[in-house]
Amino acid sequence: MSRSTQLAALGITLLVGATNALADESGELVLDVSSLAAPDTVSREEGLAAWSRIHDVFTHPRCLNCHVGEDNIPLWTTDLPNSTRAHGMWITGGVSRIGAETLLCNSCHQKSSKRNTVPNAAPHSGMIWRLAPIEFQWTNKSGPEICEQVRNPDTNGSRDGMGLIEHILHDAKEFGFISWGFDPGPGRSRPLGSLQSHLEDMAIWTSAGLPCPES
């Protein structure tokens, strides 16, 4: 079954052909998911293929750098091989995950209304740069471990598959970290695909029953 056929079967009306930022002329994010559904029309194999693409996004350095563990230390990554390392200058996000105990992340990651054009700026004006919640730690975990973590309501914020999709949409519209990750500006690497295709994969994975690969 082709991706277009899968999406048609799911009743998805996401903005096909939209840009990575999924923005209208005003710069506002636009996502139409009014008819998104998950009627169990996708096979396990198709769901696992979608999960593989989701995993590639989750573990790309652009996303992984902030999905760290209880040490609360963000990672730095360049485009060079094996270049991921702890954030320099002894930076820590602290228990607050925003650096409130020592140095706020926004002390350097300034807010900006000029989306994706100011180096190291937060995604948009009013955004507080921060580490991802500890429940979404993905560092030092295998693909199957991350999959189990993401689909388990006890470790994903009490969300089912549709709840995970709604989480992504809420972040994209209200905060901007996820959408920024797909469109971080000139000179920065980003995951393959777009926010659009990531949402489509999440819908396919959900419809297949959130299957995980064997460890």
- pLDDT tens sequence for the chain (215 residues): 444 454 444 444 443 333 333 444 444 544 555 444 445 667 899 899 999 999 999 988 888 888 888 888 888 765 555 566 778 788 888 889 888 898 888 888 776 655 556 666 666 656 778 888 888 888 889 999 999 999 999 988 899 888 888 888 777 777 778 887 888 777 778 888 888 888 888 888 888 889 999 87
Count CB-CB contacts under 10 A for residue 195.
28
* Cα separation, 202 vs 78, whole angstroms: 27
Best CA proximity match to 200, nearest among 2, 24, 60, 27: 2
Q: Residue length, the chain?
A: 215
- Predicted pLDDT of residue 17: 34
Beta bridge mates, 29: 23
* Greatest pairwise CA separation for the chain in angstroms: 52
- Predicted pLDDT of residue 126: 64
- Predicted pLDDT of residue 18: 36
- Predicted pLDDT of residue 177: 80
Helix axes 143-151, 44-58, angle to 10 degrees: 100
Beta bridge mates, 75: 86
- Predicted pLDDT of residue 39: 55
Rounded to 5 degrees, what are φ and ψ at 53?
A: -70, -40
Q: Extract long-range pairs of 120-128: CB within 8 Å, 24+ residues apart.
A: 122/176, 123/175, 123/176, 123/177, 123/179, 123/180, 124/176, 127/175, 127/176, 127/177, 128/98
